[in-house]
Chains A and B, each alone.
Chain A
Amino acid sequence: MDMAKKIAVTTTLNGEESIFLCEPRQTLLEALRDNLGLIGSKEGCGNGNCGACNVLLDGVLVNSCLVLAPEVEGRAVVTIEGIAEDGELHPLQQKFLEHASLQCGICTPGFIVSAKALLDDNPAPSEHDVRLWLAGNLCRCTGYDKIVRAVLDVAEGDS
């Protein structure tokens, strides 16, 4: 296969039908950022260790740097750009702001997508549940304290 020859991929992206061109060697992260202009997913490591690029693929949390772009054919992708609904910030986004859960903010999109995946699955997590689930997302600024509090605050607000 010519790795530079572009192919068309049809997917549901943040709820909208979408067709994009990509090289077979491109990761989903590259396609999102460079081909589709969705810069909210960040590359912190490129090999699945930091979680800054996390997205939902058919509702499952994945590192988009470890998914090849053609693999999303026929599937549904939700990125940080698709978390706010109807022009309103998602409660996680709102609580991250109120709790000052971000300092530099580079890891924030990944944390919010990951936390959404947790709360979709487990609306009333314990502190340990939150810490275990978010152990795949690295933050170097906050020491996680205010991130964990924001997620717990959203969970408590829902229950």
Chain B
Amino acid sequence: MASTKQNGTANLAANGQNGYKVIGTRPVRPDGVDKVTGRAVYAADVQMTGLLHGHVLRSPHAHARIRSIDTSKAEALPGVRAVVTAADLPVAEDKIEDLGEGAINLKYLSDNILAHEKALYHGHAVAGVAAVNPHIAEEAAALIEVDYEPLPPVMTVDDALADDAPILLETLRTDSMGEIGSEQTNLASFFRHQRGDLEAGFADAELVVDRTFRTETVHQGYIEPHAATALYSADGQITIWTSTQGSFAVRGQVCEILQIPVSRLKVVPTEIGGGFGGKINVYVEPVAVLLSQKAGHEPVKIVMSRADVLAATGPTSGSNIRVKIGVDSDGKISAALAELYYEAGAYPGSPVGAAANVSLAPYAIDNLQVDGYDIIVNRPRSAAYRAPGGTNVAFAVESVVDELAEELGMDPAEFRILNGAKENDRRPDGVQYARIGQIETVEAIKESDHYQSSLEGNYRGRGIASGYWNNWGGQSSATAVLNPDGTVNLNEASTDIGGTRASIAMQLAEAMEIDYEQVKARVVDTDTVSYNDVTGGSRTTFATGLAAYNLGQQLKKEMKRRLAEHWDVEPSEVSYEDGAFNAGDESLPFVEAAGLVQREEPLMASSTVHPQDFGPGFSTQCVDVEVDPETGKITILRYTIAQDVGKAIHPSYVEGQMQGGVAQGIGWAINEEYIYDDEGHLLNASLLDYRMPTALDLPMIETIMVEVPHPAHPYGVRGVGEVNIVPPAGAVANAVYQATGVRMDKLPISPANLLEAMWAKQAEEAAELVPGDD
């Protein structure tokens, strides 16, 4: 194991380590100059001749039957070119497909694009308009008359599971471990993971802590609103320019929704202004296609407003969670139970399955049970958000673990080391671990300057927490063209959200033993390379990087073969060292070889990969907070994250993932939540009222990159994008307990929620001081 700490100033030009030339260095990303000068083209920046502008009309009700829609006044407004409603969508089949990151029923997918019979959340799309400018499109949308029959909204787990709960989806039946129920319900599915003997485990326990928690809906919060431009050409060919984590996921979804073959749709990914899981589902893309078709084959651009983004895209689930853990007299966990109730939004598909895997993953436990419930409510259809479902459940589990350690009088890091999962232990659903680095991350925190330092002062506290994310492999395709000047064009289809052009190009450069600057990485459209899964699941540097590694090996091998022919020797006699090919007395620098080997025939390579063996990630984090007892405001004084990164290809971007995930986790912990009124109207659909952390809310975030190489990747890469967001809420809650004596059982730990809890505790303590008469 190696670990690298970030010091006060970033090490900008560190040499590669462990014999690597390129890996471990920090070069400038190829798309960097365009992004610091404003030239980079994001989704809303697309311009073209004859461009029309679209606007989407949205439901003002959380739950309503749509009796009728009259678009005549909108169509009559000068400047309007087309109006569409759900009636323009093909009838969708009730069938399940995996078109991005997880399976989805196509009927629900289509319903979410434009509401068919019912509006299921405040902000649900109802109609689309295309006009010569965005202002006219917006005016026209306001002229559309929709006759709604408002229905009572169902906003939470408790509302949805009540005996007399209004039903959202009339055909929904509970899928209980494959058995389909017979009653109408808002419970989409139930599952259970269990092993060992839970009852015996709890009977053996010396100490049991049993707590329930509530977390609120939060949004991914990417700064770029969703936007797409579609051109339905007169010859039937369709092109979509959009900001997406997966151009092929967009192609798949749009083709299913519109019932067209994939050969008729090309998706061109623009630069993407953040996704975090929220830019996998399509929203405006199919509407733009329909409008373009209806508007006489002119291109139509739809740009969402921030209010629409918050009301109708994302978010991730609110949840009710129960965690019960027992420990024996040695402090070893003897049994654990977790019950997870996740709000999926208007259609089934919360991340409760992933949450179950995360729940107790950092610990070695023989007797456990994890129950998962996927529940629909009148909120937007939930989307993936960075380690989907993980933050909620880790907040609950890590709070209980902290309480157990405290009751036992054990250091919380020691408790996690004693109970830590390692190679051959099993995840809650039974998956067995290969080499993992959980305990190493706890040790890194325990030995850190931060954890070793003292923290003094009133209302200050320190907390730690751990987290797990499984990561993903997925499918990737890439091609590489060797140019006669010794450079390589690398064509890949993984959207670059945080420097992956660089981290993928670096792996090709390392494999070919050439300089990073010789590789030109480009993200291409769906017509140019073969299928490629989304940039998600922390898979891109791992899997597309693996494809790039293969390309490098192929090109190098073919260059050797052709040089062997040229020199009339066996290919095995050709070696490559210090930038030159050699065989006997012959020697040729790479650049000259690149020209020579292509005199008779050009050289390119292609690689497709679908790695199944992807290494999971663990992270342990430490935070110091100060609580203002007057206002309940939490100040983050210091934050350190240790994460098993496998091998950091571009350390700056790995640190960036770690810091960014922590920042989002802190926002989730202390500020962010969807606030609804009693009728299910979203009240805080702006970035002022949906309060994400600013630069002033955060300190520098110290990073410790723990490197436990993943055995199934040539450079040891593990996904690094997601696990960092799993521990922060638990760590902050544990620090808040140390600062105030209050254990928070809900997120966010906002000033109001924290003050209420502190006052309740004070009242309780005051009551204990007064001699009671009962």
**Bound-state Cα–Cα, A140 to B498, Å:** 11
Contact yes or no, A105 B656, CB < 8 A: no
A15 contacts the other chain (Cβ, under 8 Å)? no
Contact yes or no, A141 B695, CB < 8 A: no
Contact yes or no, A108 B35, CB < 8 A: yes
| Also in contact, A147 and B225, with CB within 8 A (given A45-B687, A99-B12) | no
Contact of B135 among A25, A106, A108 (CB under 8 A): A25
A47 contacts the other chain (Cβ, under 8 Å)? yes
B9 contacts the other chain (Cβ, under 8 Å)? yes
Contact yes or no, B37 A81, CB < 8 A: yes
What residues of chain B lie closer than 8 Å to A135, measured between beta carbons? 694-697
Contact yes or no, A104 B274, CB < 8 A: yes
8 Å CB interface, A48-66 against B: 49-50, 52
**Binary per-residue interface labels of chain A (92-108) against chain B in the complex, 1 for a CB within 8 Å, 0 otherwise:** 01001111101111111
Chain B residue at minimal CB-CB distance from A149: B10
Contact of B306 among A45, A80, A127, A147 (CB under 8 A): A45
B262 contacts the other chain (Cβ, under 8 Å)? no
Contact yes or no, A40 B223, CB < 8 A: no
Chain B residue at minimal CB-CB distance from A82: B38
Contact yes or no, A98 B686, CB < 8 A: no
| Also in contact, A96 and B36, with CB within 8 A (given A4-B135, A37-B47, A142-B660) | yes
**Binary per-residue interface labels of chain B (256-281) against chain A in the complex, 1 for a CB within 8 Å, 0 otherwise:** 00000000000000011111100000
Q: Which of B37, B272, B695, B701 has the most chain A CB atoms closer than 10 A to its own CB?
A: B695
B28 contacts the other chain (Cβ, under 8 Å)? yes
A76 contacts the other chain (Cβ, under 8 Å)? no
**Bound-state Cα–Cα, A96 to B28, Å:** 10
Contact yes or no, B9 A102, CB < 8 A: no
Contact yes or no, B225 A44, CB < 8 A: yes
Contact yes or no, B659 A142, CB < 8 A: yes
**Binary per-residue interface labels of chain A (56-94) against chain B in the complex, 1 for a CB within 8 Å, 0 otherwise:** 000000000000000000000001110110000100010
What residues of chain B lie closer than 8 Å to A25, measured between beta carbons? 135
Chain B residue at minimal CB-CB distance from A48: B688
**Bound-state Cα–Cα, A9 to B150, Å:** 47
What residues of chain B lie closer than 8 Å to A138, measured between beta carbons? 223, 687, 692, 694
Distance from B133 Cβ to chain A, minimum over Cβ atoms (Å): 8
Contact yes or no, B40 A145, CB < 8 A: no
What residues of chain B lie closer than 8 Å to A131, measured between beta carbons? 694-696, 698
Chain A residue at minimal CB-CB distance from B271: A105
> Main SS of the interface on chain A?
loop
Contact yes or no, A102 B36, CB < 8 A: yes
Distance from B304 Cβ to chain A, minimum over Cβ atoms (Å): 10
A143 contacts the other chain (Cβ, under 8 Å)? yes
**Bound-state Cα–Cα, A58 to B522, Å:** 39
A11 contacts the other chain (Cβ, under 8 Å)? no
Distance from A22 Cβ to chain B, minimum over Cβ atoms (Å): 11
**Bound-state Cα–Cα, A50 to B660, Å:** 17
Contact of B687 among A50, A102, A134 (CB under 8 A): A50
B653 contacts the other chain (Cβ, under 8 Å)? yes
| Also in contact, A44 and B694, with CB within 8 A (given A143-B659, A149-B10) | no
Distance from A31 Cβ to chain B, minimum over Cβ atoms (Å): 12
What residues of chain A lie closer than 8 Å to B274, measured between beta carbons? 103-104, 106, 140-141
Contact of B695 among A89, A109, A130 (CB under 8 A): A130
Contact yes or no, A140 B696, CB < 8 A: no
Chain B: interface residue count, which band?
35 or more
Contact yes or no, A109 B9, CB < 8 A: no
**Bound-state Cα–Cα, A121 to B105, Å:** 56
Contact yes or no, B28 A106, CB < 8 A: no
A123 contacts the other chain (Cβ, under 8 Å)? no
Distance from A115 Cβ to chain B, minimum over Cβ atoms (Å): 11
**Bound-state Cα–Cα, A52 to B274, Å:** 13
**Binary per-residue interface labels of chain A (130-159) against chain B in the complex, 1 for a CB within 8 Å, 0 otherwise:** 111011111111111111110001000000
Contact yes or no, A100 B656, CB < 8 A: yes
Contact yes or no, B305 A104, CB < 8 A: no
| Also in contact, A81 and B659, with CB within 8 A (given A44-B687, A97-B28, A140-B692) | no
What residues of chain B lie closer than 8 Å to A96, measured between beta carbons? 36
Chain A residue at minimal CB-CB distance from B654: A100
B405 contacts the other chain (Cβ, under 8 Å)? no
B224 contacts the other chain (Cβ, under 8 Å)? yes
| Also in contact, A104 and B695, with CB within 8 A (given A39-B45, A43-B225) | no
Contact of A153 among B9, B37, B276, B687 (CB under 8 A): B9
**Bound-state Cα–Cα, A80 to B33, Å:** 12
| Also in contact, A45 and B694, with CB within 8 A (given A104-B497, A149-B10) | no
Chain B residue at minimal CB-CB distance from A38: B38
Contact yes or no, A100 B135, CB < 8 A: no
What residues of chain B lie closer than 8 Å to A103, measured between beta carbons? 274, 497-499, 653, 656-657, 660
**Bound-state Cα–Cα, A81 to B659, Å:** 29
Contact yes or no, A93 B36, CB < 8 A: yes
B29 contacts the other chain (Cβ, under 8 Å)? yes
**Bound-state Cα–Cα, A36 to B9, Å:** 39
Contact yes or no, A79 B687, CB < 8 A: no
**Bound-state Cα–Cα, A15 to B221, Å:** 35
8 Å CB interface, B26-81 against A: 26, 28-29, 31-33, 35-42, 44-45, 47
A125 contacts the other chain (Cβ, under 8 Å)? no
Contact yes or no, A50 B695, CB < 8 A: no
Contact yes or no, B224 A141, CB < 8 A: no
What residues of chain A lie closer than 8 Å to B650, measured between beta carbons? 100
Contact yes or no, B273 A100, CB < 8 A: no
Contact yes or no, B44 A43, CB < 8 A: yes
B652 contacts the other chain (Cβ, under 8 Å)? yes
B222 contacts the other chain (Cβ, under 8 Å)? yes
Contact yes or no, B652 A100, CB < 8 A: yes
Distance from A65 Cβ to chain B, minimum over Cβ atoms (Å): 10
What residues of chain A lie closer than 8 Å to B275, measured between beta carbons? 104
B200 contacts the other chain (Cβ, under 8 Å)? no
| Also in contact, A146 and B659, with CB within 8 A (given A140-B221, A141-B498) | yes
What residues of chain B lie closer than 8 Å to A109, measured between beta carbons? 36, 38
Contact yes or no, B686 A134, CB < 8 A: no
Given contacts A42-B223, A44-B687, A105-B40, 14 further A-B contacts (CB under 8 A): A39-B47, A42-B224, A84-B37, A104-B497, A106-B42, A106-B274, A107-B273, A134-B696, A140-B223, A140-B664, A141-B274, A141-B656, A144-B663, A148-B700
- A-side residues, CB < 8 A to B, are 3-4, 23, 25, 33, 37-47, 49-50, 52, 79-81, 83-84, 89, 93, 96-100, 102-109, 112, 127, 130-132, 134-149, 153
Shortest 8 CB-CB distances between A and B: which pairs? A40-B38, A106-B273, A143-B663, A105-B35, A100-B652, A103-B498, A143-B659, A80-B38
